[in-house]
Amino acid sequence: MTKAEKVGFVISTLNRLYPQIPIPLDHKDPYTLLIAVLMSAQSTDVKVNQITPLLFEVADNPYDMVKLSIEEIREIIKPVGLSPMKSKGIHGLSQILIEKYKGQVPQTIEELEQLPAVGHKTASVVVSQAFNVPAFPVDTHIHRLMYRWGLSNGKNVVQTEKDAKRMFPKDLWNTLHLQIIWYGRQYSPARGWKLENDIITATIGRKTVLKEYYKK
């Protein structure tokens, strides 16, 4: 199977499994999405979705957020982990949004990456999900699956993103990155992986990955 055929199989299979794909993090606007994605670093979407309502009940916009102290934010978001860094980032970026963007979230990856605690992945998620700008945020699921499927060498997430953008049609990026995340969670997890449940890897998977699986 050529790489083009593999890509076609991935797209058709994901469209069949996930014709409608929900956004994992609960939010109501670009600002609450930005905060939720920032909080999700080294945490789970489930945990973040439990904590964000508590934070947004107090402050769901940058003007209310800066009225809180960093310590007050930290106390609320502590269960998601890395709360010292995240609370400083949330307070700092909220102040910048007020001073530089009139309280609005900028719509480019470059501008978002200039905000405290906002990295490339977070910025990519926000532009794709809040503003429908084509992007391909790579998380651990996408990084793992692109390697398992033989579509990337797995060296790092930067290379995986480049490979994904090169192989998949640009107009599908925003949908595909979510579909792959859900597929990875449901059918191709890092732990407890069962190849018989993973139709894509079983069909197009990298030979070394399949050999390693059958050795277990």
| Phi-psi domain of 110 (left: phi exceeds 0; alpha: psi -120 through 50; beta: other) | alpha
Catalytic residue (one of 45, 47, 139, 162): 139
Catalytic residue (one of 121, 155, 165, 207): 121
Q: Is 171 a catalytic residue?
A: no
- Contacts by residues 84-89 (CB-CB < 8 Å, ≥ 24 positions apart): 85/117, 86/38, 86/39, 86/41, 86/117, 88/116, 88/117, 89/38, 89/115, 89/116, 89/117, 89/118
- Residue 87 burial (CB count, 10 A): 24
* Gyration radius from the chain CA atoms: 19
- What distance, in Å, lies between the first and last C-alpha atoms of the chain? 26
Q: Is 139 a catalytic residue?
A: yes
What are 121's two structure tokens?
């992945």
Which residues have a catalytic role annotated? 121, 139
